[in-house]
Amino acid sequence: MHDPAPDREALAASSPRLASLDLIRGVAVLGILAINISGFAGPMASLTSPNLPHPVAPADEAAFALSFLFFEGKMRALFSLLFGAGLILFWERAEAAGRDGDVLQARRLFWLILLGGLHYLLLWWGDILFLYAVCGLAALLLRPLGNRALLVIALGLYYAWHLWGLFGLAPAIGAENAIRHGTASAAQVRMVSEWLEPLRDWAAEEMRESHLGFVGLILVKLGQRPFWQIQMVFGNFFETLPLMLLGMVLYRRGFFSGALPRRKLVAVGVTCTITGLALTAMFLGWAWPRHFPPVAMHAALVWGMAMPHLLCGCGYAALLVLATPKLAPTPLGRRLIAAGRMAFSNYILTSLTMTFAFYGWGLSLFGTVPPAAQWLFVLAGWALMLGWSTPWLRRFRRGPLEWLWRSLIERKALPNHL
């Protein structure tokens, strides 16, 4: 009797990639560097406000404002939506090949946990792979639920978490505002001082560690911060998981394949993008003239900008899906798609090149490059990602780390040459 499994496997293997997903992923991996660059250039406090730990020039505030308006939170949301969509896509293709999609997906995510741990240990504290793998496992458990249930869980968790955090920081925001107006009590001054002191101490510690060699940095992470990534999971789980669940629903509804009517995609793209950017601009209009007060900025970045981040993530995705048919055949489109197909390799490549530029085992520029000048490194990173991805994929089926990850999942070295 004919075994249909090989036919299903061939069908799954030959199924075309979704160009829209690859293109969006390419935009996202470029865009995330515009935000991560502050963490690479350091210190970490500058992610909250450009004037931490020291005041900067107006041009640097403008550069920070540009990133805040178009990239901050939006790229993180876009990546999380894509990861959720990718979870379903991988599962469907495994099932179409007659294999157990849940088992393969779980194996895929466990390997990502290990690879994320190595990324943190060897290169950079800002790893998101570990976080995405843990949230992906939770999303995998919820995969059998229907779209309505996933939406309720996602939106409920997302907004409850962010509102809870925002209300918790309200007294410190009020105290900072009172200090700015000269009406603060001694208790309010003390509250803000105690909030800022750990940031400044940590910035000084980062400056000291930045001069260590490659091995020295590894030893510090092992000895002083071995559970850093677990802390990141606790701090980001209820933002990342809901966005992944939304990505799963969007994929099921045909959002990324263009199956939704064009008018709906246009409505989502235009409405969500304009609304999200407008809300961001409104906050920026308040924060920028006040030189980005750190407590209020922390509240906005971590908690308060949840809605514009989500809106822009969905809006950007819809606009890029609409643009894919015309953009994909162009030279820029082909390079963005190639960068997206190699997003894992490009993500790690940026960590390698930027830590070399800023840490003591490389050029040791940590803490010396202000926000405006950091854009030179962003543009160089974009040129690198767009420049090498296409030539690589002319010779190979997958990026180097994509190949390694998939080979680990399959428990054998897969062919990669074309």
Q: Do 46 and 297 contact (CB within 8 A), yes or no?
A: no
Q: Do 388 and 400 contact (CB within 8 A), yes or no?
A: no
Predicted confidence (pLDDT) at residue 261 exceeds the cutoff of 50: yes
d(CA 244, CA 86): 9
Predicted confidence (pLDDT) at residue 11 exceeds the cutoff of 50: no
Res. 18 pLDDT band, cuts 50 70 90: confident
| pLDDT score, position 257 | 87
* Cα angle value 254/112/13 (rounded, 5°): 50
How much is the average pLDDT of 50-58? 94
Taking only the tens place, the pLDDT of each residue in 288-307 is 999 999 999 999 999 999 99
**Alpha carbon of residue 396 to chain centroid:** 26
Burial classification of residue 349, based on how many CB atoms lie within 10 Å of its CB (0-12 exposed, 13-18 middle, 19 or more buried):
buried
| pLDDT score, position 359 | 97
Average pLDDT in the chain: 94
d(CA 73, CA 64): 13
d(CA 259, CA 80): 21
Q: Do 37 and 374 contact (CB within 8 A), yes or no?
A: yes
The strand pairing partners of 396, in sequence order, are 417
d(CA 376, CA 382): 10
How much is the average pLDDT of 168-175? 94
How much is the average pLDDT of 10-16? 38
| pLDDT score, position 258 | 80
DSSP single-letter state for residue 17 = P
| pLDDT score, position 2 | 34
Predicted confidence (pLDDT) at residue 14 exceeds the cutoff of 80: no
State phi, psi for 367 to the nearest 5 degrees: 75, 5
| pLDDT score, position 17 | 66
Handedness of CA 403, 404, 409, 414 (dihedral sign): positive
How much is the average pLDDT of 85-100? 95
Res. 190 pLDDT band, cuts 50 70 90: very high
Single-letter amino acid code for the residue at 390: T
**Alpha carbon of residue 328 to chain centroid:** 23
Burial classification of residue 177, based on how many CB atoms lie within 10 Å of its CB (0-12 exposed, 13-18 middle, 19 or more buried):
middle
Six-digit token string for 232: 């990141």
What are the distances in angstroms from CA 284 to CA 71, 254, 270, 272? 13, 34, 21, 18
Q: Do 355 and 206 contact (CB within 8 A), yes or no?
A: no
Query: CB neighbours (10 Å) of residue 153?
Result: 16
| pLDDT score, position 3 | 36
Residues in the chain: 418
Q: Do 195 and 172 contact (CB within 8 A), yes or no?
A: yes
Predicted confidence (pLDDT) at residue 6 exceeds the cutoff of 90: no
How much is the average pLDDT of 247-253? 96
Single-letter amino acid code for the residue at 71: F
DSSP string, 329-395: TSHHHHHHHHHHHTHHHHHHHHHHHHHHHHSTTTT--TTTS-HHHHHHHHHHHHHHHHHHHHHHHHH
Q: Do 21 and 92 contact (CB within 8 A), yes or no?
A: no
Q: What is the pTM assigned to this prediction?
A: 0.93
Q: Parse the chain into domains and list their residue ranges.
A: 34-410
| pLDDT score, position 141 | 97
Res. 259 pLDDT band, cuts 50 70 90: confident
DSSP single-letter state for residue 45 = G
d(CA 366, CA 249): 41
Burial classification of residue 3, based on how many CB atoms lie within 10 Å of its CB (0-12 exposed, 13-18 middle, 19 or more buried):
exposed
| CB half-sphere exposure, 343, CA atoms < 13 A | 23
Res. 49 pLDDT band, cuts 50 70 90: very high
| CB half-sphere exposure, 46, CA atoms < 13 A | 31
Predicted confidence (pLDDT) at residue 312 exceeds the cutoff of 70: yes
Three-state SS for 396? strand
Taking only the tens place, the pLDDT of each residue in 372-411 is 999 999 999 999 999 999 999 999 999 999 999 999 999 9
Give CA torsion, residues 98, 146, 234, 116, to 10 deg: 20
Predicted confidence (pLDDT) at residue 103 exceeds the cutoff of 70: yes
